[in-house]
Chains A and B, each alone.
Chain A
Amino acid sequence: MEAKNKNLWVFIETNEDGTPKNVGIELLTPGRDLATKQGGALVGVVIGSKVDPTVKEVEAHGADQIIVVDGPEFAHYTTDAYTAVMYQLIEKYGPTTILIGATTEGRDMGPRLSCRLKTGLTADCTGLDIDEASGNVAWTRPAFGGNLMATILCPDHRPQIGTVRPGVFKKTPGDPAHKAEVIKEDISIPADQIRTKVLEVIKDDGGESVDLEGADIIVSGGRGMGSAEAFSEVRELADALGGVVGASRAAVESGWIGHAHQVGQTGKTVGPKMYVACGISGAIQHLAGMSGSDCIVAINKDPDAPIFEVADFGIVGNVHEVLPMLAAAIKKIKG
């Protein structure tokens, strides 16, 4: 497909109550930058049901134009409905670049859409730029479990599409006075064209939802904690610091703590002010999710553990000794 203009689209994911998910608003930040470099407009694409709150947010966060598709069939994401709508919109408007959040929804829709458009998609990007030589978007993403970074171009096909990892870009404070052109597209998808049906929704276990991405302080435990019981030492320190509990994949897979707490390549990407890694060796998969933290503190008995290479402060020692002492010391400071 040929691009009809130099516009850049950001797909804005919505919640069922019509508010936006964080990632879409975050992507308006690099979207602005890339759109300016490409010499086109920044367009927010909002699909959902009763999405006025989202439209306002997108407007405040700097979109030049907002394309809105609003209908009850879009309240809950479905592959078929969303892909069909996006395809129709792209055919009509012909943007040159599309950013989609690399969430479970974004990574479900992205490949379906790019395949229908027979264009290229770069998944789970952590870096976005314009390739100076060709003017294409240079999509940078981790591969080999974060061991390697690859920069990908999509030179001959349009639109060029990427899914972008949540938490990598920070949303701007926003300006409620900023105005955008809002275009309402009247598209509806007949029920028989939606081939999947949500039969049941089970929210996360016992309210143990955890906002790792938004946390200022995270205390994470890894394989070195040794057992589910010992994880209470991590919790205790997190409580002392007023932070939340994270975990490495090894700890999650050992069943010591729920998947919602996992930080790393297959978990959450976090960027707190302080990240305390307890008994985490620092496999590259874990580093991929937390090396953007402002201050990293590591506690590990192995002085050669890779975690010390990224840590600002580290204690070489037994976590079971250090954690309770550290928690006590911090409680004392905080009174």
Chain B
Amino acid sequence: MNMLVCVKQVPDTTEIKIDPVTNTLIRDGVPSILNTFDGYALEMAARIKDKDPSSKITVVSMGPPQAKAILQECVAIAANKGYLVSDRAFGGSDTLATSYILSEAIKTLEEKEGKFDIIFCGKQAIDGDTAQVGPEIAEHLGYPQVTYGLGAEVDGDIVKVKKEVDDGVEIIGVKMPCVITATKPDFDPRYPTIKSKMAARKAEYPVLSAADLTTIDLERAGLKGSPTKVKKTFVPQKKTGGIKIKEETAEESVNKLIDALTAAKVL
């Protein structure tokens, strides 16, 4: 199998705190990480490679030069090669423009790496949480898609994807080439090894700029190519003024709570 995994470097949103004075996000010191769901996507590809060791995994990320760090991480974990798509012209892209640029980059990558049978994405990035780029890449390329994948297995010319739906799980058969987006599976992604980690440090991570994407229409990239505009951002309001009970013993606290709930007619 020739597989591509699309990855994104994101701030670790579980580490983000709100400045209580200015009521804004504190981004300083928040570590940049490989988007969690992209890690699951990579693991799904790696599991296919485990079964068919002749498989190849390429990773691609669109982002600033420092996003190379996550490509290195992916190569240490399971990927054969990592490419960065980076250009100032791509800045300010919304999901439609991002997916367009990535679909153009995929065409360029296919000239180097061969045609991809499966393109994996995380179901969403934990910073934007839109879950749009995967399906939009599929649409740009005209490929079928399966979203919310929990696992993928190749069976002849189709991929059987375990898909999470609202009331359970479905097994979906999809013909290759296709796009699969990954949600949290019931297995943990593998760790790199010392050797793979050292090798990944030494590997090259070619950068594709706008000039390298030969058929791209830059009118459809960056701010110009983005139909959605952010009007404003704000920190959600918290409600305040609750009653905090802390008595000497748990029993006294419980009694006080029961009284308060009864008085407030909640009970």
Task: List the interface of chain A (C-beta within 8 A of B).
Answer: 79-80, 103-105, 107-108, 110-112, 114-116, 118-124, 131, 138, 141-157, 195-204, 209, 253, 265-266, 273-274, 283-285, 287-288, 291, 295-297, 303, 308-318, 321-322, 325-326, 329-330, 333
Contact = CB atoms under 8 A, between A and B. Distances in A.
Given A147-B25, A315-B245, A123 B129 contact: yes
13 contacts: A107-B131, A111-B135, A111-B136, A119-B96, A120-B94, A120-B226, A144-B25, A147-B25, A309-B242, A317-B250, A325-B250, A326-B257, A330-B267
Contact of B145 (A79, A145, A148): A79
Contacts of A118: 96, 227
Contacts of A311: 242, 244
Given A197-B173, A274-B266, A148 B135 contact: no
List the 3 shortest-distance A-B pairs measured between CB atoms, nearest first: A120-B227, A145-B13, A195-B144
A143 B129 contact: yes
Interface stretch (B1-9, B64-72, B80-88, B158-166): B158-166
Interface stretch (B46-54, B207-215, B229-237): B229-237
Tier of interface size on chain B: 35 or more
Contacts of A295: 264, 266
Given A104-B148, A147-B16, 18 more contacts: A107-B147, A119-B227, A152-B229, A153-B228, A154-B227, A198-B170, A202-B168, A202-B170, A253-B184, A288-B236, A303-B244, A309-B238, A310-B239, A311-B242, A313-B243, A322-B253, A326-B258, A330-B267
A201 B245 CA distance: 48
Contact of A120 (B96, B99, B174): B96
Contacts of B266: 273-274, 295
Nearest to B255: A329
A121 B95 CA distance: 8
For the complex, would chain A's binding face be called helix, strand, loop or mixed by DSSP majority? mixed
Contacts of A314: 242-245
Contacts of A200: 170-171
Contact of B99 (A115, A144, A312): A115
A209 B167 contact: yes
Contacts of B160: 199
Contact of B166 (A104, A197, A284, A312): A104
B238 A313 contact: no
Contacts of A203: 167-168
Contacts of B267: 330, 333
A198 B163 CA distance: 10
B168 A201 contact: yes
Interface string B218-231: 00000000111111
A230 to B, nearest CB: 15
Given A151-B231, A311-B242, A204 B144 contact: no
Contacts of B173: 196-199
A301 B95 CA distance: 42
B14 interface: yes
A322 B253 CA distance: 8
Contacts of B170: 198-202
B233 A151 contact: yes
Contacts of A303: 244, 246
Contacts of A144: 11, 13, 16, 25, 127
Contacts of A119: 96, 227
B42 interface: no
A202 B169 CA distance: 5
B95 A149 contact: no
B138 A112 contact: yes
Contacts of B250: 315, 317-318, 321-322, 325
B260 interface: yes
Contacts of A146: 236
Contacts of A145: 13-14, 16, 126-127, 129
Interface string B159-191: 010001111111111110010000010000000
A156 B144 contact: no
Contacts of B130: 111, 123-124
B132 interface: yes
Interface string B104-148: 000000000000000000000011111111111011100011111
Contacts of B242: 296, 308-314
A227 B246 CA distance: 24
Contacts of A321: 250
Nearest to A146: B236
Given A202-B170, A312-B242, A116 B229 contact: no
A315 B257 contact: yes
Contacts of B94: 120
A147 B228 contact: no
Contact of B258 (A103, A121, A199, A329): A329
Contacts of A291: 238-239
Nearest to B135: A111
